[in-house]
Structure 1
């Protein structure tokens, strides 16, 4: 059975429904929120309210993208999933360096230790304390994907260690991989390194690549076989072109099996339930009309249903061998 893993358990991919492929549902009080208070998303009542509106509008699954020890709170994610009925895929892995203090364990753990930590999140359960204390108390809630992130620069030795550990865990468990890119920078290099390391590109998605703007660059990334995630449709401001919509128009006819979308609402000022805008339902409210206007309605099902189902399914064991 093809399955994906939610915070409340495994489900057949046929149950995934309308899916946003890159969100921030809970960001707990942490190192990053101390420096950036707008990143704080830990009020379960307000989060549940927004997710309930998403469910009412037809949304069924969201992919949370806060990995290990940078604001992840798996118990709150489970609570808001129960309250809203929205299925939430939770990651393990490591975020950008800026999300952690300089003396964080990510810098001292070996590749093997990181691999085993990621595998434990996927197969045993995520630590209730998210590796912030001297004890580990594993919950019944398991990770359903693995995340890594790179910045503007050429990959460092430390980042290469993260890549190796992520691919090790991916091949051992079958869990899919999601990445962060800074404005799409180093996306092509990410894709090529994954291929070099033997990862299954059909279960890898690179996020924020629409921020790179250029059709040719996005095409080069897609030609590697990975999937991409676009989440800036609401960010472009007049008189600037809406590069996300331009990319959809140019690339969907050829690459409709590789493009997914999300909102990436990491700031509480984007959430209607927090008094902000545009709110989580922005894509549900705008993308179907955009596709219809451009005679591209046939691609809606790929962006929000078929592509997430194939991407976030755990790999078949025959590949992993």
Structure 2
């Protein structure tokens, strides 16, 4: 089975129905362990829904039709909530199956199971089931497989997840999207997935905006994968460069013939799960533009100032997501 239809939280659509798409965002997000703090900070379903609808309606007014939620199984994924937000906003939402990188993900469970035997088939079974049958008893099918690697390495635990994702992608056609840590391992991720038999036309290597070395970008692109500059607006934190530094490199990539392999998003989190964050005052200017309309308000104008055309921008924000899901 090599599907051409796209799993959204409200049902299947064709790739050409995706329209303008943000390929790596979050409706809600919680680091593993947030669940144990719910006595003090319970999940506020109504707040998550209201915040999500408000944000997606703003994006809809700017022409966005699809929002890919890259929240993996160990990051507080809430598919039933996503479905309600999609129905109320009229924006397509895709949710993920998969696991985050080892240090900040749900690795304890799987590492324990791996002491009892090989977990490869179990991971495959989970991802395959969530793509083809649905998540838990919701009937909501995952539209992408999300995987991640550590800073400077892909650990043995992470390799098992990557290989399970590649196996499911080969059988279902569902795209793989990735997390890279602090601008590292993009080429290695692409190589691992492609050598495992995954279709490079259905792979998006993420957080490429964290590394401004043009050779790193080209080394990743040589595998035929898509690259996602998807932390725009997130600056000076978590290993992220400043947007003003990013624009020149991104424009150079686009104008040198790679527009058909690039996507842009923010990795934005609409609602944090758990206790409210206490962000240091000195950090606030660094994330002043970290919100999902930043692409339209600042990123696109900055690229156009650097000679990027409207046609190239449309390729990046609309054509490329469609092609990723169509396997083109």
1: distance between equivalents of 2:288 and 2:44? Answer: 15
TM-score by length of 2: 0.82
Which residue in 2 is equivalent to 1:114? 123
Compared CA separation, residues 34 and 228, structure 1 to 2 (3 A): farther
* Corresponding position: 1:61 with 2:63: no
1: distance between equivalents of 2:44 and 2:305? Answer: 35
TM-score by length of 1: 0.84
2: distance between equivalents of 1:212 and 1:294? Answer: 19
1: distance between equivalents of 2:242 and 2:179? Answer: 24
Task: Select the residue among 3, 26, 31 that pairs with 2:5.
Answer: 3
SS at match of 2:83: helix
1: distance between equivalents of 2:323 and 2:111? Answer: 30
CA contact (8 A) 2:19 2:65 kept: yes
CA contact (8 A) 1:27 1:41 kept: no
**Could you say what the CA RMSD is over the residues aligned between the two structures, in angstroms?**
2.8
CA contact (8 A) 1:123 1:142 kept: yes
Which residue in 2 is equivalent to 1:95? 100
2: distance between equivalents of 1:292 and 1:54? Answer: 20
Compared CA separation, residues 4 and 102, structure 1 to 2 (3 A): closer
SS at match of 2:232: coil
Following superposition, the deviation at residue 277 of structure 1 comes to: 4.6
Which residue in 2 is equivalent to 1:133? none
Which residue in 2 is equivalent to 1:157? 156
* Corresponding position: 1:305 with 2:305: no
CA contact (8 A) 1:44 1:76 kept: yes
Following superposition, the deviation at residue 100 of structure 1 comes to: 3.9
CA contact (8 A) 2:32 2:106 kept: no
2: distance between equivalents of 1:202 and 1:29? Answer: 30
Where has structure 1 moved over 6 Å in runs of 4 or more?
Answer: none
Compared CA separation, residues 29 and 161, structure 1 to 2 (3 A): closer
1: distance between equivalents of 2:128 and 2:191? Answer: 23
Compared CA separation, residues 49 and 186, structure 1 to 2 (3 A): same
Spell out, residue by residue over 1:129-185, the C-alpha distance to the aligned partner (whole angstroms, 9 max, x if none). Answer: xxxxxxxxx212100111110011422222221121111111111111001001220
* Corresponding position: 1:25 with 2:27: yes
CA contact (8 A) 1:233 1:242 kept: no
Following superposition, the deviation at residue 83 of structure 1 comes to: 1.1
Spell out, residue by residue over 1:204-248, the C-alpha distance to the aligned partner (whole angstroms, 9 max, x if none). Answer: 0011112111112111111221111102332346x9572321222
CA contact (8 A) 1:201 1:226 kept: yes
1: distance between equivalents of 2:31 and 2:221? Answer: 36
